[in-house]
Copies of this chain bind each other. A is one copy, B any other.
């Protein structure tokens, strides 16, 4: 099914919808999660904690979104996190200078070129506003960070454009008080903010978005001393090297041996990541690690793989995997004068960093994209979500509201409601109630009918095959807990 059909489901079934949609002055690029979206996202985050953070003994922090100006002086964002743009002098339309030039004239001026370069090509090629044919003004840099003024003095600060900056500046304290040992992952889930010029495609390019970032601090002399490597050595990765057009399927172990991945530390985390995504119900056969070439890599990355997944929107980057070396800690150490060196046994080390920078919203979109099923023979659409990720785990449906069925159903609901995500639904035809539960991926539903009043049994219906069986009320929780088990 395509993007529009997924959007329709998201809007109509409370997964996500535009922010402040009742007001026309709300800019684009902001989205809300509705009740089913919140529940799905929470379960995704819990899986991330299980399979990456806790499994690997990482330390999780939760830092401020507003950070000081010096943080972004050190990180390079104040100087470099900017797009070249041009504005129409007549209708004020705004364009990314490099993209406009490429579209209209096929000339490639790199994003990072001097501003005069853009002005020169625009003049030479006589490029005008695409909307009103007005003349374009001079190119200028537009920084994508949102500035905020703090206190009555309006001290300049910024909404962080990536969560990892909190991890870097907190590293000295967190490593010390948690008595860290290299290699150690520090993880964080939270909002980041980027003032995109053209936000688009709902959860794909937002101005306010969720990241789950993991920064692994390591001793650069020990990148092949990874004690748990055996746990992932046979996990298969699809790796597409720079300049290649087809990924190669290869185990973590073979990836290191062949040099496709530079060391065991990087391969270990790529393996954990594939293992994690296979448990989200995203089809990892449709995934690839695309190794970025020198021109495509971020300025801080010495080796970079984008974890990309094929969806109805084409290939989406879900996770950026960057070996950032000591770029971040050196820069912060230099500007702050704080000490970022730590002891690794008897050796003093300025740690290097390997990061897994995950987009949560895009991952949620991809889960819907890979799990939405148009079941035409049964005239239904359903979400084949993993049961432990389903926003609603159990539907409880009294066949009728009358004759004590509603009350009986409520008595079944009461002891389950705090522990599980149970949806109680007594309105409308039973078939339509099943369809609605299918559309939000509820793996199980029970129906309370007249027989229930006689023999304390209910009908248990399963989502995927729509098979039904008669079980005792006392067995419901056992069925539920079995169905919801993690692999």
Contacts and interface: CB of A to CB of B under 8 A. Distances in A.
A178 B62 contact: no
A32 B336 contact: no
Contact of A153 (B29, B70, B94): B94
Interface string A174-216: 1001110000000000010101010000000001100000000
Contacts of A22: 169, 172, 332, 336, 338
Interface string A9-35: 001111001011111011101111111
A60 interface: yes
A65 interface: yes
Nearest to A157: B27
Interface in A414-454: 417-419, 421-422, 424, 427
A169 B23 contact: yes
A121 interface: no
Nearest to A155: B27
A65 B142 CA distance: 22
A427 B193 CA distance: 40
B174 A14 contact: yes
Contact of A166 (B32, B57, B59): B32
Interface stretch (A47-55, A254-262, A350-358, A471-479): A47-55
Contacts of A153: 92, 94
Interface stretch (A143-151, A243-251, A312-320, A370-378): A143-151
Contacts of A14: 59, 174, 177-178
Contact of A34 (B155, B173, B419): B173
A156 B478 CA distance: 53
A31 to B, nearest CB: 7
A290 interface: no
A23 B70 contact: yes
Per assembly, the copies of the chain total 2
A467 B68 CA distance: 48
Interface string A84-100: 01010000101000000
Contacts of A155: 25, 27
A235 B23 CA distance: 42
A19 B167 CA distance: 11
Nearest to A51: B418
A12 B418 contact: no
Contacts of A480: none
Contacts of A71: 20, 23
A41 to B, nearest CB: 7
B37 A336 contact: no
Contacts of A23: 68, 70-71, 169, 335-336
A13 B178 CA distance: 7
Contact of A38 (B60, B70, B417): B60
B152 A197 contact: yes
A191 to B, nearest CB: 7
Contacts of A64: 19-20, 30-32, 208
A82 to B, nearest CB: 11
A360 to B, nearest CB: 11
A163 to B, nearest CB: 11
Given A22-B169, A39-B60, A195 B150 contact: yes
7 contacts: A20-B71, A21-B170, A22-B332, A25-B155, A33-B61, A37-B62, A50-B418
Q: Which 7 A-B pairs have the closest CB atoms?
A: A26-B68, A19-B64, A22-B338, A22-B336, A27-B150, A33-B62, A30-B64
Interface of A: 11-14, 17, 19-23, 25-27, 29-35, 37-39, 41, 50-51, 54-55, 57, 59-71, 85, 87, 92, 94, 142, 146-153, 155, 157, 159, 166, 169-170, 172-174, 177-179, 191, 193, 195, 197, 207-208, 332, 335-336, 338, 417-419, 421-422, 424, 427, 486
